[in-house]
Structures are given as C-alpha cells and as structure tokens.
Structure 1
Amino acid sequence: MKPARNSALVLGGLLSVAASLLHIGCIIGGPDWYRFFGAGEAMATMAEQGSMIPTLLTLGIAAILAIWAAYAFSGAGLLPRLPLLRSGLVVISAIYLLRGLALIPALIINGGEVMPFVLWSSLIVLVYGVAYAIGTWTAWPNLKPRR
C-alpha cells in the first residue's frame, strides 16, 4: 500500500533539497560563500588556495542532504519506497533535531551568547527536524516494513 501524501515530509524534503542546493552554491560561489554561510575561515582559505578539500566535503554534505530529501519524499508517497524507510526517517529526524537542540548547551556554556551563525543555523535545522519528526510520526502506520 502506497503511503498517503504527507505535507510535513514534503516540507522536510523540500528543505533538505534547498540545503543541498545551497551547499552546491557554496562550491560555485567560492570562498565568499563559504564565509557567508558560516563554513569557517579555514574552509574559505582552503577554497582560496585551490584545495579540493572544501569541494569534496561540501559535495558529500550536499549528497547526504539530497538522499535525506529522497527519504522524505519516499515517506510522503512521492517516490517509490526506499530501503529501511522507517529507520532512515527516524535517524534523519534525530540528527536534525539533535543538531538544532545543540543550541541549548551552546547557550549554557557561553553564558547565553553564541555566534549569530550558531543561533540561526540551529533554529533552521530545528525546523527541519520538527518537519521530519511530525511527518514520520504521521506516516508511521503507512511505513510498515515489507513482508
């Protein structure tokens, strides 16, 4: 049985696609984009020096985010069922939520102050995690493993 469309998972998938494309944009945009999006001065400097490390790392992240989008779209019924769909969606939700919630210890450790990048990136990723978690919860009965 094909799962019903799930707006939370569709949103999560679209957010992951956007993040993947932004990572590709950093590769194309170069050092200034790495700096603007908070990759750190070391990554920007390596990119300026022509190192392949920033490109390879960023391509890897973009690929992972694209795969995560595919899992969201699969769970929403827009793509064929992917292997380990239930487990994959739970793990993806957990990773996004934990990354977003990392803001709390950062605020505690730093006396309530964090770099703007840490603040806004954590809040954005928390939205991703909530979309995946709600979507996974909603779709759960339709995501039974194949027999």
Structure 2
Amino acid sequence: MLKIGGYINIVIAIAHLVGLIWAEQMFEVTGIGKEMIALAQSHFSLPYVLTIFVSIIFFVFGLYGLSADGKLKELPFLKPAIFIISGIYIVRGIGELIFDLSKQQANPIAETIYSLIALTIGILFLIGGLKKWAFKKENV
C-alpha cells in the first residue's frame, strides 16, 4: 500500500511539472485558474514557482512512501512522516467533500474526483503504516 501511494505521489509530482508546459490550461482544469492569475499579477513567475514547490512536496511524499515500503533507504522520521502524510491527505479529501456538499450549488465533478483521490492516497498511507508498525507489535 505504501509503495502504491508512493508511486502515485511521484506520478502526481511529474504531472505537475509536465503540466507547466500548458500552465494556463492545467490551472483551469484543476480549478485554480483565477487564483493563479491573481498570483501572476504580483510576479509572472509565482504560479510556476508555486507549482514546482508543490511538485517537490508530492515527490517527497512519494519518497517517504517508497522508503517505508523498503524500496529506498530509510528516511528520517519515517514513521511519523507516513502518518502525517496520511492525515494531510485524509483531511484534504474529507474536508473538500464536506465543503462541496455544504455549497448551495452542485459540486463540480473534478473537485469530487480530486477529493476522492486524496482520500484514497491517505487511506493507502494509513493502512500501509498501520500494517508496517502498529500490527507488527503483535508478532514481537
């Protein structure tokens, strides 16, 4: 589960970087077009810098997932990091779903899909982390 979550994060990181080739379209598809236009008014490079930063975060999350699965060298603070990453994704997924349901208008399908993806990744990290550390104590 951690391996799957790790690889998904790396794919998301790469997709962010590739998406910069078509930045305006990517921002519109992901629903952040207006925010990025406002950010670009401060400086034209800020949407790109922010996207690269977000891509790095996804990549690091992916590395932690792969490290916890034993595919890479063990990274520092591995156990708490896995559960923090899981929490971030679960809160993001559930929070956005609740926010969408509380709106008076019909919720856009894309936002719901992004929330379900985040929730799925969070559950992968949570279950993977529990399998690796919490349930392992019973065998000791």
SS of the aligned residue for 2:53 comes to helix
Q: Measure how far apart 1:115 and its partner are.
A: 2.3
Classify the secondary structure of the residue corresponding to 2:74: coil
Q: TM-score, normalised by structure 2?
A: 0.85
Q: Supply the distance in 2 between the matched residues of 1:120 and 1:132 (Cα, whole angstroms).
A: 18
TM-score by length of 1: 0.81
Unaligned runs of 5+ in 2: none
SS at the partner of 1:82? coil
- 2 CA distance for matches of 1:30 and 1:104? 26
Are the aligned partners of 1:9 and 1:75 in contact in 2 as well (CA < 8 Å)?
A: yes
Of 19-28 and 84-93, deviating more is 19-28
Quote the Cα distance in structure 1 between the aligned partners of 2:133 and 2:37.
41
Does the 8 A contact of 2:101 with 2:107 survive in 1?
no
| Aligned counterpart in structure 1 of residue 89 of structure 2, from 93, 96, 105 | 96
Q: Which of 10, 14, 39 is residue 7 of structure 2 equivalent to?
A: 14
Runs of 4+ in 1 over 2 A off after TM superposition: 37-42, 44-47, 141-144
Distance 1:86 1:20 in 2: 22
Determine whether 1:134 maps to 2:127: yes
How do 1:32-43 and structure 2 match up within 5 A? Answer: 32-43=25-36
Match of 1:86 among 56, 79, 82: 79
Q: Report the equivalent of 1:26.
A: 19
Structure 1: runs of 5+ lacking an equivalent? 1-7
Hey, what's the Cα distance between the residues in 2 that align with 1:89 and 1:143? Answer: 16
